[in-house]
Amino acid sequence: MPPEAQVLLADVRKAALALLAFSKGRTLPEFLADEMLRSAVERKFEIIGEALTQLAKVDPVLADSVPERKRIVAFRNILAHSYARVDPATVWDILEKDVPPLLAWVENSIKPASAP
């Protein structure tokens, strides 16, 4: 794995961990009521999507193995360019359902590269 790919996956991991930390113990109604939390969550999703976009440029084979990568990048584009269409409840649903498996995939992918 190229060093740039490792850095990008580390960025995805860091953002995913932040998303899980932000949402821990929180509910959808709390998320809907907290503009700062929603903004922070959206920003971390943007980072994940952009890191995966860059990953496709530095290691296309690895990028193609990321589950749901195209969907994640499309979601990032909606957040960045079509922000008025963003449904906060959908963002919360994606955070709860899709971030844990993505994080698990990234951690499994990074682990072999960092093992001695």
Reported as a single tens digit per residue, the pLDDT across 24-66 is: 999 999 999 999 999 999 999 999 999 999 999 999 999 999 9
- Round the average pLDDT of the chain to a whole number and report it: 92
For every residue of 5-28, which 3-state class applies, written as one string?
HHHHHHHHHHHHHHHHHHHCCCCH
pLDDT in tens, 85-99: 899 999 999 999 999
Please choose, from the candidates 6, 5, 11, 110, the residue with its C-alpha nearest in 3D space to the C-alpha of residue 58: 5
pTM over 0.95: no
Tally of domains in the chain: 1
- Per the structure, the complete domain to which residue 8 belongs is given by 3-114
